[in-house]
Amino acid sequence: MRARRQSDSVSPILEQILYGGSSVSMNLITITREIPEENRLFRARGLNKAILFKYPNFDEDADDYANPIADEDEDGDAASRPVETGIYIPHSVEHTEAGGLAIYLRARNSNLLLAEQFGIGEANSEAAAADLRTLTLIDSVPSLDAFLLKACFEGEKVPVDKRHWAISDAEDQQLRRLIRARIEPIVRKAIDGGGNGAQSIERFLEAIWNPELEEAGLFVSAFGIDRSEADQIFSAWKGTTFYEYQLRRIAPRARIILNWLKSRECIPVDIRMHKPYETQLLMHIEKVGKLLETTLLDIRQILADYETSFSAFMAGQPEPFRDYLRKIRSHYWLLGYCVSALTSVSHLDARCMKNNPQRKLYFEATHKLLRQFEVALDRRREQKGAF
């Protein structure tokens, strides 16, 4: 669109890794600075000087604005888990924008690269096995939200210094109460029908956080689902409820951004000085607006499906909720991507508009923000090995 300037030297994808927000980026350089080495997340020192990030990897054959929800029966890990995990290793921990290398955990050469960079390509020692286990657990969650990661590690009984999680005990307990309140009516409806008492109901509610309990398997088997899937279903159910809560927090700003993109207010104040690029800019604004609308539409569809099946179940019709549970994993991963993308867009917008309540930008700033939004909302991001 115009000549490259020094301010554009940072790759848009690297900008997303560095500034996209805590849902998509986990800066271990900063997090572990005050944590003693023996208590850090990884045994390999180099991993604690890296930045973990999430990135979308949806089906390349899908239409740009098509609904990408996959059936649970589809083959391939990418179909059911379209959000992957990467590791950014900066050349300098003091200047992370200066570039570095990236490793993608599900890439075919990831073991080789992990071995070259950190010596943990294969579980050839207790320390290596522990680090690979940690990476696998992180990759099992659609986003890097502290609440979900903390719940995942606790569920697997893997101890982690709580200073790694950017969440207070009070907020963690509040989220747990919200999730319990959302799930409890369904559990009560299912269990009360069997004539079970309050103690039995409480055990079933405990199974939300401990799928190893017998009650977890009993609950899913009542819907005709194999007991072995209880862990995945309960994790996805908790995660879906968490993302609902996250959406309520970011929805107001998302609406502001969408309305801004649809208005004349997003036209740069100095557009007359950049007339040769006006048409391209307007097309870019339209494209980003469509990406944002598609993300919001997917969220509405998933949550509407949940509400419809929930209402049917409470009215004595369990079949829709059974079908929802069977597909909940793919819904959970898509919802995780969508809410994380919105969170990232909201974070980038707040960063840009911090001292600009009128939301009036110059051409350069508008172009940069649109580029950041597009990367955050893009479902087919390039896997760059170096920045």
- Residue where the block lists tokens 């409806």: 189
Nearest to 45 by CA among 104, 127, 112, 101: 127
Is 211 a residue whose pLDDT tops 60?
yes
Is 64 a residue whose pLDDT tops 80?
no
205 vs 199: CA distance, rounded Å: 10
61 vs 58: CA distance, rounded Å: 9
155 vs 152: CA distance, rounded Å: 5
User: What mean pLDDT comes out for the span 331-337?
Assistant: 96
The reported pLDDT for the residue numbered 189 is 84
The reported pLDDT for the residue numbered 77 is 57
Amino acid at position 85, single letter = T
Cα dihedral 65, 66, 69, 75 sign: negative
Is 194 a residue whose pLDDT tops 90?
no
Is 63 a residue whose pLDDT tops 70?
no
Is 79 a residue whose pLDDT tops 70?
no
Quote the tokens at residue 246. Answer: 């996250």
Percent of the chain clearing pLDDT 90 (strictly above): 72
196 vs 188: CA distance, rounded Å: 9
**Per-residue pLDDT tens for 244-263?**
999 999 999 999 999 999 99
CA 367 to chain centroid: 25
Is 7 a residue whose pLDDT tops 50?
no
Is 62 a residue whose pLDDT tops 70?
no
The reported pLDDT for the residue numbered 220 is 85
Q: Is 43 left (phi over 0), alpha (psi -120 to 50) or beta?
A: alpha
Is 240 a residue whose pLDDT tops 80?
yes
Percent of the chain clearing pLDDT 70 (strictly above): 90
Quote the tokens at residue 217. Answer: 């398997």
The reported pLDDT for the residue numbered 264 is 94
The reported pLDDT for the residue numbered 230 is 87
The reported pLDDT for the residue numbered 208 is 83
User: Using an 8 Å Cβ cutoff, are 284 and 370 in contact?
Assistant: yes
pTM for the predicted model, two decimal places: 0.89
